[in-house]
Amino acid sequence: DFRSQDYAVGYATSDSPFGPWKKNSKNPLLHRVDELVGTGHGAPFADKDGNLRYIFHAHKSQTEVNQRNSYIVDMSLSGKDQVSIGGGLIRPAVVK
């Protein structure tokens, strides 16, 4: 539930798209980044330079659900089943 401060991102792996799936022991990958809470609902992508990034939604209030913004962090893959997210937090800029 995105309203929860503990909303987070994790992942699971499988040798088949049909499962069985195994949750990674390092989950959650993304949870309470700096002052951000509700850090979930995102997607991986490659930027124009080919760097892996992860875009996600979050809100700032510790006491109420307010407007959620999108943020971007670095992402990396290693081996066939290791994912890491973090560092290089890109914050939105308000355009008027």
Counting the structural domains of the chain, the total is: 1
Residue 1 maps to a domain: no
User: Residue 93's pLDDT is what?
Assistant: 81
Specify if 2 maps to a domain: no
Supply the range of the domain harboring residue 77. 12-85
Q: Which CB contacts under 8 angstroms, 24+ apart, belong to 22-27? A: 24/81, 24/83
Q: Which of 65, 89, 70 is nearest to 1 (CA)?
A: 65
In-domain check, residue 54: yes
Residue 96 placed within a domain: no
The tens digit of pLDDT for each residue in 33-47 reads: 888 888 888 999 999
Q: What's the average model confidence in pLDDT over 63-75?
A: 85
pTM of the model as a whole? 0.82
- Per the domain annotation, does 94 fall within a domain? no
Kindly report the average pLDDT of the chain as a whole number: 88
Q: What's the pLDDT tens digit per position in 5-28? A: 888 999 999 999 999 999 999 899
Q: What is the mean pLDDT of residues 86-95?
A: 83
